[in-house]
Structure 1
Amino acid sequence: MTSLTRERSWLLDRNLLQLVYQCRRLIRSEFGVQLHLTEEHLEQHLADYAGRSSSQTLVDTWECLLAQVPELGIKTEEHSSKMYRGMEIIDDTPVAKVAGAGQEADLPRKKKNIYRGQVVG
């Protein structure tokens, strides 16, 4: 808890806190996500949303905050996932399902003939 307090001591400055509030408000209006000041990775979330934002105001506010607090200079990692219209595509098919599907496709399937709701032959 004390290490987190030391890392967040910059939030005690009124001007910096106003910039964070403005970033949070812009993120909430654009993405619909409510960020809290007590979140563990608040700086990373702010940087991610500022990087994905189409709002120049949010980008400028984040850059102003970075200029005043140099320890916030977090390296933004490029996402290796696919993007569609600015949103990340979530791949919900695990590798096991994909590998299992290949084994089932190798087996010959017997075709079911259905006539009026009854299985025939």
Structure 2
Amino acid sequence: MSGGINAHWLMHYRVVTLVNQCRRLIRDEFGVKLTLTDPRLREALNEYAGRSGSTELKRLITQIDEEAGDAMPEDEPGHGSTEQRPARRMYRGQPLPDPPADAGASSESGPEKTIIYRGRRVRGG
């Protein structure tokens, strides 16, 4: 598992709402306060749901798994393909166009740099 906080599964508003409901139930039943910044939050939620007698908590955990996907934080660092190819550049949630294959080749007047302004190619390639 990576050293940093893996909050990828917490990036959906609906999932955060469900997690907060779980945190409230766990706090009421066990007296434990879980934080959203805890890197083991998802594991802790599953542990407390297994020990809990509350069917509501178990239902919420299965709902979180459906909404956020079943990938646990240990699964994410091993994507493999991200190390082989560079990540796609994004601007305002939209992928930027790939630079032309000959963009690195120098011409007689020097390489023309592609400039993208507000998602549109202004100058270059």
What is the TM-score with the length of structure 1 in the denominator?
0.53
Distance (Å, rounded) in 1 between the aligned partners of 2:73 and 2:58: 14
Q: Report the count of equivalent residues.
A: 72
**Does 2:64 align with 1:52?**
no
Q: Which runs of 4+ in 1 moved over 6 A?
A: none
Give the match's secondary structure for 2:36: coil
Q: Which residue of 1 aligns with 2:17?
A: 18
Distance (Å, rounded) in 2 between the aligned partners of 1:62 and 1:73: 16
Distance (Å, rounded) in 2 between the aligned partners of 1:3 and 1:11: 17
Offset, 1:40: 2.0
Percent of aligned pairs with the same residue?
Answer: 38
Distance (Å, rounded) in 2 between the aligned partners of 1:73 and 1:61: 19
Distance (Å, rounded) in 1 between the aligned partners of 2:35 and 2:62: 20
Q: Which residue of 2 aligns with 1:72?
A: 72
Offset, 1:61: 0.2
Q: Which residue of 2 aligns with 1:8?
A: 7
Note closer, same or farther for the CA distance 1:44–1:53 as it changes in structure 2 (3 Å cut). same
Structure 1: gaps of 5 or more residues: 75-121
Distance (Å, rounded) in 1 between the aligned partners of 2:73 and 2:51: 17
- For CA contacts below 8 A with separation 6 or more, give which structure has more relative contact order: 2
5 Å-filtered alignment, 1:103-118, equals none
What is the TM-score with the length of structure 2 in the denominator?
0.52
Structure 2: gaps of 5 or more residues: 75-125
Offset, 1:37: 0.7
Offset, 1:67: 1.7
Distance (Å, rounded) in 2 between the aligned partners of 1:4 and 1:66: 21
Q: Which residue of 1 aligns with 2:105?
A: none
Asked whether the equivalents of residues 66 and 72 of structure 1 are also in contact (C-alpha less than 8 Å), the reply is no
5 Å-filtered alignment, 1:35-46, equals 35-46=34-45
